[in-house]
Structure 1
Amino acid sequence: MLDLRRRTMAETARLCWSEARPSVQIVFLLRFAVGAVSTAQLQQAPWRTLLGMAAWWCAVSCAYLLNGVTDVREDRANGSRRPIARGDLPVRTAGAVTALLAGAALTLGVLAGNGVLGWVAGFLLLGCAYSAPPVRAKQSSVRCAIVVFGLGATSYAAGVAAAGSGWSATGVVFGCVMAAWMALVGSVVKDLGDAGGDAAGGRRTVAVVHGMAAARALAAAGAVLVGVAGPVAAALWAPLALVGTVPLAAGAVWVVARVVRDTRRASADRQQRRDAYRAFMVTQYTANLVALGVLAAA
């Protein structure tokens, strides 16, 4: 009986981890790590930074598991294969784990000290605002972009706080540019493959209200704006951040190319329409990894 319970708990943990999107969890931890190494110097007790990172992982997992709990209708309409949508993870179980993760994030935030708790609480509130009533920012492209920018910015800020030192110009510029990449590009291209399910769920995104052509144009414009403005801002105010923002220029070209190719297809399926989102994800991974390596070496 005990072995059965352990296997059940392990399987539930695995399903929750999968529902909370491992690729997203990792990139949020990368943002946190970049924020930590962007400071002038690390604090005397690095274990506090590790506690802060653990708190951040719990907060991110909580936010994205909550998103899965509230997105069942849309995910099933879009043919998602995540655990809740396919019926392998009960909504009630996922909701209970969401609450546990929130409690763990706040507790670890207290233990990390240096103001990490405030950023953790802010992130959890933003995650709730994204998915749950009364805000439900995911219902609107504008509200979504605002909340997504906050989710990105708080991730870099939490890393700075956990390291026990103040912001540097490099951290400010790079954090803001990458948060803008999330808000102006990621929050738009993610809807290109999910417009059908979003409409079924009552969302009023640009893709649903104004059509796919308008959403593609907005995604391309956002990519060009951040891809150009990011390196320029780094060159003017934080040269060390330039090496991290240069990948955005290449990524912007990649995203635009994917969007244009999708436009020319007579009938692109959902996976093809998600090509621009994959380009967005690879770009932000590359930018954060390069920045992490350079800042850690510096």
Structure 2
Amino acid sequence: MAEFIGAPWSVIGDPSGRTKLRRLARAAWLCLMEARPVVQVVFVLRYVVGVGLAIDQPVNLLHVALGALAWWCAIVFAYLINGVMDVEEDRHNGSRRPIARGDLALPTAGVFTAALALAALGIAWCVPGLVGWVAVFLALGWAYSASPFAAKRHSTSCAIVVFGLGWTSYAAGVTAAGGDMGSAVPVVFASVMAAWMALVGAVVKDLGDAEGDAAAGRRTFAATRGPQAATRLALLGAVLVGGGAPVAAAIWAPEAVPGAAVLTVGAAWVTVECRRLRRSKQGDRGARRSAYRAFMLTQYAANAVMLVVLATH
């Protein structure tokens, strides 16, 4: 293990072909685990919903498949570079992801990060109109975690970047399917889902990590004001999105109402979890992540409902 951790290029220079392939496969697997599979899935789901929003016209399945591969590479890039840049915070917060626990070397992860960015751009060139969205997503992923921006360090900049990461995922799916992001349904649904990420997810994700984030110098709302104050901000975001999403959909994109309505239910759930946390005064890290779990499951449900609506339309 020590040899693997300390020698990022050993996966290339090992004299034994089988050993080299095993190490390369292990490094790739650890990179995938570092990049948070649950989050990868929901980002791909956003792309798939985007494709569904454009299926009222002929779709080139090869373009859709290549677009999905390019987008997945971009997603893994964004979350792998986040793991590389967040190692101090993750260790403070007791993370068990591969970099934090010492199973994946930072230089090794860096090599894979660069390769993923190049792969995402290269594959995207094969899909008309997609490379621009991929480039924007890669730039946002970099800006979220790395210098000179490191948007993760402040709640406002974090929310802005997170909104962009969500919105572009839907736009990429629409574009790969040959659709137009100028129409009402894609714009409204992408916007309300991205708002859910920015105003709710970007806040509740920090509730369980406030101490480690503060120790690493982050200036998020949870790190500077504490989890109790952050829950109030999350409650406000949940009310705004949960109340506003179905109204916006009803006015401008009635087809998106079922998916948007799920956010209202999810907002109520997040509210319950936040109020429970506030009553508990502090709670352990697991308890403080309950609102984040509610946020994540709501995302899955809203996108799944929208897929059903599009499939039966």
Q: Tell me, in whole angstroms, the C-alpha distance in 2 between the residues paired with 1:107 and 1:286.
A: 32
Letter in 2 for 1:132: A
Specify which of 209, 214, 231 is matched with residue 194 of structure 1.
209
Query: Is residue 216 of structure 1 aligned with residue 231 of structure 2?
Result: yes
Q: How does 1:169-184 map to 2 (within 5 A)?
A: 169-184=184-199
* Superimposed CA distance per residue, residues 130-171 of structure 1 (whole angstroms, 9 cap, x where no aligned partner): 000011000000000000000001101111110112133211
Q: Could you tell me which of 146, 167, 188 is aligned with 2:160?
A: 146
Higher relative contact order, chain-length normalized (CA < 8 Å, sep 6+): 1
| Residue of structure 2 equivalent to 1:54 | 69
Question: What is aligned with 1:82?
Answer: 97
Give 1:158's aligned residue.
172
SS in 1 for 2:101: coil
CA distance in 2, matches of 1:99, 1:91: 12
The 2-side partners of 1:184 and 1:266 are apart by 23
What secondary structure does 1:16 align onto? Answer: helix
Per-residue deviation, 1:44: 4.2
Unpaired segments ≥5 residues, structure 1:
none
* 1:107 pairs with 2:122: yes
- Mapped partners of 1:212, 1:141: distance in 2: 13
Report if the CA contact (8 A) 1:39-1:166 is conserved. Answer: yes
Instruction: Give, as a single letter, the amino acid of the residue that structure 1 aligns with 2:103.
Output: D
Distance 2:232 2:310 in 1: 34
Q: Which runs of 5+ in 2 are unaligned?
A: 1-15
- Residue 272 of structure 1 is matched in structure 2 by 287
Partner of 2:32: 17
| Residue matched to 1:245 | 260
CA displacement at 1:266 relative to structure 2 = 4.0
Distance across 1 between alignment mates of 2:238 and 2:231:
11
In structure 2, distance between residues paired with 1:43 and 1:32: 17
What secondary structure does 2:76 align onto? helix
Distance 2:21 2:259 in 1: 43
**Letter of the aligned partner of 1:92 in structure 2?**
P
Question: Secondary structure of 1:164's partner?
Answer: coil
Residues 1:65 and 2:75 aligned together = no
Q: Are positions 1:26 and 2:46 aligned together?
A: no
Match of 2:277 in 1: 262
The answer as to whether partners of 2:55 and 2:177 remain within 8 angstroms in 1 is no
Tell me, in whole angstroms, the C-alpha distance in 1 between the residues paired with 2:264 and 2:59.
37
Contact 1:40/1:166 (<8 A) preserved: no
Does the Cα contact within 8 Å between 1:248 and 1:287 map onto a contact in 2?
yes
Q: Which amino acid aligns with 2:113?
A: T
User: Within 1, Cα distance between the matches of 2:149 and 2:131?
Assistant: 23
- Is the counterpart of residue 286 in structure 1 residue 286 in structure 2? no
Aligned to 1:231: 246
Deviations 1:36-85 (A, max 9, x none): 11126344421101111110000000000000000000000000000000
CA distance in 2, matches of 1:165, 1:241: 16
Counterpart in the other structure of 2:135: 121
Residue 45 of structure 1 aligns with which residue? Answer: 60
Matched-pair contact (CA < 8 Å) for 1:43–1:165: no
Per-residue CA deviations over 1:158-200 (Å, capped at 9, x if unaligned) read 1111011213321111100000000000000000000011011
Report the Cα offset of residue 211 of structure 1.
2.2
What is the CA distance between 1:202 and its match in structure 2? 0.4
Counterpart secondary structure, 2:208:
coil
TM-score normalised per structure 1 = 0.98
Structure 2 counterpart of 1:36 = 51
Alpha-carbon deviation of 1:213? 2.0
**What is the aligned-residue identity percentage?**
58
Letter in 2 for 1:130: Y
Q: Tell me what 1:91 maps to.
A: 106
TM superposition score normalised by structure 2: 0.93
Q: Which residue of 2 aligns with 1:135?
A: 149
Pairwise CA distance, 1:218 = 0.3
Secondary structure, in 3 states, of the residue corresponding to 1:125? helix
Distance in 2 between residues matched to 1:142 and 1:73, nearest whole Å: 22
The 2-side partners of 1:166 and 1:11 are apart by: 40
Distance 1:33 1:22 in 2: 16
Distance 1:47 1:297 in 2: 23
